[in-house]
Chain A
């Protein structure tokens, strides 16, 4: 890891809230949501207290991997507008503190999950932390434009961990939830990187628009979307999703494809200065299609998982023809 000269200690002492920020609370909330969905879809009779503690462990494990990421990526975070206010690059927290916190919380979350649920779930959590911190952060992110494609596995595993925590097994339907998030990640992140590519270029991160250009990225967003949307409908055939899920996945998928087509036809990512200064969603007119895709992709994934969660919580039957 090369420390940037931009990193310096501020005069303000570190507060406990700065340490909470190391855990990326917003990402943690998404992990909690998808892990709960996996756990509920497993339709097991797990003790709800143990289930709650298992979800807590999964969330802490995700936070631990985020702390490792904040420690290792402090040099490139300092160069990007979106990340330069993070605790380590802004100098609020020392990198060594972030590293120690990641290590302690990793051990804590994996061991407690093993005690609370089972060692399959704990092993999957340990693998997820390792994959995000080492394979994605330390290796893929700086070396290949396929970084978020392969690295997306770390973000896709929480529903499998939730399922495994509830049942001690990881069947096909659990991996189907994982595959949906895995295939969702490239169009989601590339849509974002189309209008933040200047930041990535400045930091030397080989995101797809930086290395292959905006036109190639737009084409790949369309290709991945064409693979992703049919995959979202597969749970209906395996008995995981019911009729409500069929409607949500099909209608939402249609909108997803329309947005992907619009990006493909647009010139998103080509002009300089894609973003204005007022937050992540404030973009120039040429990048509005990419911004819309980024925003809708979050909504679509949330709707898919919320529908599955509701169907299983209410005991609605799946369709299941396979």
Chain B
């Protein structure tokens, strides 16, 4: 018995949705690392002896 063939339009739309979600996830990760770095570094800068 052969597997059902996916609709090419649906397939393309689903792939595009997955790609956008993955891209947003990666951007979010970069932003989070940046924010954590800035906030943690900022606190230490404030604590250093002048």
Contact = CB atoms under 8 A, between A and B. Distances in A.
Interface of A: 9-16, 19, 47, 49-50, 53, 56, 108, 112, 115-116
A16 B17 contact: yes
A19 B43 CA distance: 37
B18 A19 contact: yes
Contacts of B35: 49, 53
B15 A13 contact: yes
Contacts of B7: 11
Contacts, number: 47
A14 B29 contact: no
A13 B6 contact: yes
Q: Is the interface of A mostly helix, strand, loop or mixed?
A: helix
Contact of B40 (A10, A50, A112): A50
A19 B21 contact: yes
A16 B3 contact: no
B25 to A, nearest CB: 9
Contact of A13 (B3, B11, B29, B39): B11
Contacts of A15: 14, 17-18
B14 A50 contact: no
Nearest to A10: B4
A211 to B, nearest CB: 38
A293 B33 CA distance: 43
Given A12-B14, A50-B36, A112-B33, 7 more contacts: A11-B4, A12-B10, A13-B15, A15-B18, A16-B21, A19-B18, A50-B39
5 contacts: A9-B3, A11-B6, A15-B17, A50-B36, A53-B32
Contacts of B40: 50, 115-116
A112 B32 CA distance: 9
Contacts of A116: 36, 40
B33 A49 contact: no
A59 B3 CA distance: 37
Contacts of B17: 15-16
B5 to A, nearest CB: 7
A16 B18 contact: yes
Contacts of A10: 4
Contacts of B11: 13
A57 B15 CA distance: 27
Nearest to A47: B39
A12 B36 CA distance: 39
A207 to B, nearest CB: 35
B33 A115 contact: yes
Contacts of A19: 18, 21
A10 B43 CA distance: 52
Question: Which of A12, A16, A56: most chain B Cβ within 10 A?
Answer: A16
Contact of B29 (A47, A49, A50, A108): A108
Name the 8 nearest CB pairs between A and B, nearest first.
Answer: A11-B4, A16-B21, A13-B14, A13-B11, A16-B17, A16-B18, A116-B36, A15-B14
Contact of A11 (B5, B21, B39): B5
A115 B35 CA distance: 11
A186 to B, nearest CB: 36
Nearest to A50: B39
B16 to A, nearest CB: 10
